[in-house]
Amino acid sequence: MLQDLHAKNQILHCAIGIVPSSVVLTSFQVMSRVFLIWAVTHSVKEVQSEDSVLLFVIAWTITEIIRYSFYTFSLLNHLPYIIKWARYTLFIVLYPMGVTGELLTIYAALPFVRQAGLYSISLPNKYNFSFDYHAFLILIMISYIPLFPQLYFHMIHQRRKVLSRTEEHKKFE
């Protein structure tokens, strides 16, 4: 319940301009996190003790502490350089760490999902529709191949833009 409220607030904060982030990217990030927590980790109890869960939870936690510190100080018009630097630098390690944890967790869930037929719908049924959650999870994992590099290099570009601008300002001070 609290996670749900936090997710909605994150998207709302972007939509109304409280935080300067893309609504689309934030929505994608929030929905992927909700998916990983509820549709994978919560639903497949066997993966909850995997080290991979700890990996993505630590990466997400540190990322959110940095992100909200950045937003808070920015709203107060007093952004310490160390917070800006952390926001645009630590993702270099945290982003791959989180993605690795996410992918390893989904991978660990696959045998349990297949064995239990979790969230799968088989034919025949009155709707004449089938859904294979195991195959869906594999497609989710494959989707990381084109998406991760795009998002990662977007952040690299943002880092260059933001931190080089800061360095330029420091030269003139």
Point out the residues that are catalytic.
Answer: 95, 102
Cβ neighbour number for residue 157 with a 10 Å cutoff: 10
Give the 3-state secondary structure of residue 121: strand
Decide: 79 and 68 in contact? Cβ < 8 Å: no
- Distance between CA atoms of 31 and 6, rounded to whole angstroms? 12
Which residues make Cβ contacts (< 8 Å) with residue 8, sequence separation at least 6? none
Cβ neighbour number for residue 75 with a 10 Å cutoff: 11
Decide: 52 and 117 in contact? Cβ < 8 Å: no
